Structure formats: C-alpha cells, structure tokens
Structure 1
Amino acid sequence: MGKYRADLPQLKPGLFVSDGGMETTFIFHEGVDLPEFASFVLLDSEEGRARLRAYYERYLAIARRHGRGIILDGATWRANADWGAKLGYDVAALRRINALSIELIEGLRAEWETPDAPIVIGGAIGPRGDGYVAGRMSAGEAEAYHAPQIETFAQTAADMVGAYTLTYVEEAVGIARAARAANMPCAISFTVETDGRLVSGPTLGDAIETVDRETDAAPAYYMVNCAHPAHFEQALAADEPWMRRLAGVKANASMKSHAELDQSTTLDSGDPDDLGRRCKSLRAAHPSLRILGGCCGTDERHVAAICEACA
C-alpha cells in the first residue's frame, strides 16, 4: 500500500515540483543510449540504477532547498507491452521492471523525505503508441492494455499512477478506468499542440470534461505536459469548471512544435529563467496549478528556476 495513496498531499494547498525531461537528459546531456527512447532499460544494470539515483537526487536536492514536496515518477513511461516487446521484455520482465522502478524511488524516499516536504511516488505510464501521434484504441481496449502495468504498481509502494503524453481521449478513459479498478489514484496528462489542442483535435477542456463524464471523474487530477506554456496558456480559461480539475504542468523548454522537435538532432533547452517566469505567471492566473515541472529538453536548471520564480 502506498504511503499517500489514500491522501495525496499534492492536492492540498502549496506548490509541489516534479522532475524534468528524463530521457532527453540521459540522451543529450549524459550520452546514454536509450533504445526506443526507453529509460526503463537502465533499471536492468547497476550502472543504470546508479544513473537514475543520481538523476533523482538532483531534483530531491532542489525540492529540499526550497522546502517543496516533490513527485518522483518511475522510469517506466515506455514499460508497456508493445514497447517492451520491441526491446525483448515479456510480461514477466515488464512486471519485474515496473516493480523495480518503484523500489528504487522508495529507497530514495527513506533517505530524503522530511515531514514538511513529502515525496510522492508515481508509477509512470506512457501511451501505447507515440506521444506525438493520435492513437486508435477504444476505451475498452485501452483499459485492457494498460491494466497489467497499473496492477503491478498497485502491488508496490507507489502512491499513484501518472499517465503522460496522452494524445486522445479514449486512451485516457481506459487508463482512468483501469486505475479505478486497481484502487489506484491516477493523474491524466495530455500533450497539446501549438494551438493548445490535443493532436487528435479536441480542446483541452473538452478532453477533460469527456474523461470525467465517461469515468465518473475517476482521475485525481489532470495535467498538461510536453508543450511550452506559450502553446497552451491561451487555452486555459479560469472561469470554466474544468479548470478546477487541472492541477499541474510539466512544460517543454522549447517553443518548437512537436514536428520540429521530432526531427531535431540537437537539444533545444530554451531559457530556464523564462520558463520559470512563465510558470509563475500560470500559477498566479490559475491557482489550481499546484504541480510544476519539466518535460522534453528540461533538466534540473529549469526546475530550480521554477522554484526560484515561485518562491
């Protein structure tokens, strides 16, 4: 049973932080080969686990310095059946790797947590397909597909599951239903394009309202990730009820579109201080935003800048 599973502290007043772009950090800053953009392969070696611990500790140090709680997600964004099969991981191997991801963070929590700065452990879930392309599953298919990973997390110390870079409503609905069946709180995080809409077409508000309607509001909260604030700040309408369900942002450092980023051979790290100021403005305009962190192209510099701007 997760320590905070029945009472997520990030839903209370105050600012929580999360990490930055794990995969882009390892590939572009540390020169690590991540086949299929899958960081979970690092869990299968002592060297890889040491890299992950060092990565997490950089963010834990920032959170401690600023007196903030933090959400740490496992390195399991790609650890589902289709991506696992491409890398030679069968059902049993994926179950082992998903559980190991939580065990690693659990050890860090024992070392770093303080009463005033809780550490929430998240089981990270990614889309069945690509994070920049709309998928094709029905809600029922998505529920069945993602259930094994969620059920594995439910048997660990994970406090919740976080589903990131989702591009269409049906997959979000399926994940939310699977999490509810496993008695796991879940956060649903959508990727949006430069116009603030999901790649599949709906507005962010329409997507949140549809998932809530189809699941009896099963998700604990919603987030936006893998987009620069300039791409979605105009899509946030503070006077609409769905905004109260949007609790966080994990922003890209770059203002480039997903199509541009997909074809780029270099990392656009943007301006950490500018990102910090933009996140501060977002939070000032939308008090429901209690979780701030980074996505592609961000690292500890960006999260530190966010903390400093929001001090």
Structure 2
Amino acid sequence: MRLNAFKDTQRFFLSDGGLETFLIFDKGYDLPCFSAAVLLDTEQGRADLAAYFTRFIDIAKSTGRGFILDAPTWRAGTAWAGPLGQTLKEVMDTNTRAVSFVSNLRARHETESCPILINGLVGPAGDAYAPDTEISAQEALLIHAPQIQALGKAGVDMISAMTLTHAAEAIGIVQAAKEIDLPVVIAFTLETDGRLPSGQRLQDAIAEVDAATNEGPLYYMINCAHPDHFRDVLDAGADWALRIGGVRANASRQSHAELDAAEVLDDGDPVELGQLSADLLAHLPNIRVLGGCCGTDHRHVGCIAGHDPSRPAA
C-alpha cells in the first residue's frame, strides 16, 4: 500500500545522510566492519540511531517531503557474519531487529503529509572501496538471498542495494528480491571518472542488469560519489538515464581511495551539495529520492531539501 502511494504520487522523498561516517567521526563509535547494525545491541546505540534518524524525518516533515527510512543493515549480510564474529543465525536476527527498530520509529513519526517507507539496506559482499574480487550473478544470488528473505519477512517495503561495484552482483540481488516479489532498488557507486569501480560505464551496467532481469529494479540510484564525478556522463535524453530515480551523493570530492585512508572527515560544503544535487534534476528528470552518503549529515540533506526547484513542497 505505501509503495503504491510512492509510485503513484509526484511527492519528493528524502533519505538520510552518511550514517556510518557520522557515527564514526561525529559520535566516536568504532564500528567493526563499518557496521552500524552493532548499535542495536546497546541502549545508548539505539538512542543514538533514533536521534539520528529523527533529525532527518523532521527535515522531511518541515519541507513537505516523504522519507525513505533505512534499516541499518548495509553490513548485515551473510558475507559479513564471519568478519563480525557472528553466526548466520545471529546476523539474520540482526536484520529482523533492525526492521523492528525502524518500524517503531515510523509508527511514532509518520504523518499523512510525511509518508515513510521502510527500506531494507543490502551492501556488497566485498569492500565497496576496494572491489578486487567480482562475483557472478549466481554467487550473488546465493550470498544475498538469506538477508533479503529475512528483511522481507520482517516487513520492509522495499530493498535497496547500495554501493554496488559491478553489474553481476546487482543481477543476483535483483533475482533474490524477485523470488519473494519484493521491490528492489540498485545503487551503483562511481569513481571520479564516472565509471563503476569495475571500469564499466554506468549506462552499460544499467543495460546489463535490465536485460538480465527483465527491467527488474524499481529504479536505479547513484551513491557514494560527488556530483562532479558523474554529472558529465549523464545523458538527459537517453532511456537509461530515465531509469535513475535517486542520488545519494558524497559531500567530498575525494576519490574512494582517499576517503578510505582519511583520518579526518571531509564534509564538503552543505550548501554547494544542495545546489549540485538540485542541478542533477536537469540531467535526471525521473529523480524521486535525494539524500547523502559519506561525509553528509542533516545539514547537507536540509540544503538538498531546500534546493529542489522542480517540485514544490507538498
């Protein structure tokens, strides 16, 4: 029901910012494997997560937007059970608890003028900043299906696979979501040359996934890249560009290698990022979701919400 409303309305939706970088650099957490899900294990961690998401929901409410509320499960797939020191059962239970947590937040904050969608986050099986090993679509299906099934059973409205580095893994994730009839969004991360870390062009990756899955993704996103890194590769008149429905950009212009080695957070310029995100609407007319990624927080998303000239607040 909620997803039908998302499809049918012209309402603009916001997401949050860079959760993990905020927790590490602003809150002082040491996140194992960059996993925000570990905060679900403590009362203080849950309080910090609730305060974080509530701040963004308040921005959506004040600007008449909807909100995409992510379960903090980007690093809660089967591939990360071992590195996190968890059993497969424990990591699947983490997904269930994460969905319950954000569902309770929605129950407290959703209004008629601010619809909230529960989004189950799926991350790559490897390191998004160092994609040395690519996996096949079949391997991706086997790796990601248990998490996607757990998220679906827990009651998410949709799945978003974020910071994917190559098309084959995206294909397996889409197939896993289609097996249980769950809408899925594919978000590719791009390097400073506007290409996927695999070296593939964005339009070719979208075409490959669509061809293999019968246009399975609800839409595509670009995330974990600064707009300057990919704006010049966009073609507003191309069919593939019309498949892009969201952008969650980095505040920093640094490369992934530079970000990975950074000891100080580069949070860029929130006002500039807001304007640059709004400017993308001229290249990507089907954008419905805007938010932030690494280095962004409520300041950046607030500026993004305030720099949307194409759609007035509802």
Deviates more, 1:33-42 or 1:220-229: 33-42
Distance 1:10 1:73 in 2: 18
Equivalent residue of 1:217, what SS? coil
- Cross-structure match for 2:250: 252
Q: 1:15 aligns with which of 3, 12, 31?
A: 12
What displacement does 1:164 show?
Answer: 0.2
Distance 1:232 1:285 in 2: 11
Structure 2 residue identity aligned to 1:118: P
- Cross-structure match for 1:107: 104
Q: Is the 8 A contact 2:189 2:197 kept in 1?
A: yes
Cα separation, partners in 2 of 1:75 and 1:257, compared to 1, 3 Å? same
Equivalent residue of 1:243, what SS? helix
Moved over 3 A (4+): none
Identity value in percent: 47
Cα separation, partners in 2 of 1:151 and 1:95, compared to 1, 3 Å? same
Structure 2 residue identity aligned to 1:138: S
- Indicate whether 1:51 and 2:73 are aligned: no
Q: Is the 8 A contact 1:10 1:290 kept in 2?
A: no
Q: Which runs of 5+ in 1 are unaligned?
A: none
What displacement does 1:10 show?
Answer: 5.5
Equivalent residue of 2:295, what SS? coil
What displacement does 1:11 show?
Answer: 6.4
Structure 2 residue identity aligned to 1:97: T
- Cross-structure match for 2:223: 225
State the Cα deviation string for residues 146-168 of structure 1 (Å, max 9, x = none). 00000001112210111000000
What displacement does 1:108 show?
Answer: 1.1
Cα separation, partners in 2 of 1:82 and 1:215, compared to 1, 3 Å? same
Q: Is the 8 A contact 2:292 2:301 kept in 1?
A: yes
What displacement does 1:242 show?
Answer: 0.8
- Cross-structure match for 1:190: 188
Equivalent residue of 2:82, what SS? helix
Equivalent residue of 2:257, what SS? helix
Distance 1:226 1:12 in 2: 27
Distance 1:28 1:154 in 2: 32
Cα separation, partners in 2 of 1:198 and 1:8, compared to 1, 3 Å? farther
Structure 2 residue identity aligned to 1:176: V
- Cross-structure match for 2:29: 32
Equivalent residue of 1:86, what SS? coil
What displacement does 1:92 show?
Answer: 1.1
- Cross-structure match for 2:170: 172
- Cross-structure match for 2:306: 308
What displacement does 1:8 show?
Answer: 5.6
- Cross-structure match for 1:290: 288
Deviates more, 1:43-52 or 1:176-185: 43-52
Equivalent residue of 2:207, what SS? helix
Structure 2 residue identity aligned to 1:47: Q
- Cross-structure match for 1:234: 232
What displacement does 1:4 show?
Answer: 2.7
Cα separation, partners in 2 of 1:78 and 1:238, compared to 1, 3 Å? same
Cα separation, partners in 2 of 1:244 and 1:194, compared to 1, 3 Å? same
Distance 2:88 2:19 in 1: 24
Distance 1:199 1:157 in 2: 32
- Cross-structure match for 1:151: 149
- Cross-structure match for 1:141: 139
Equivalent residue of 1:196, what SS? coil
Equivalent residue of 2:154, what SS? coil
| TM-score where L is the length of structure 2 | 0.95
Equivalent residue of 1:187, what SS? strand
Distance 2:299 2:283 in 1: 24
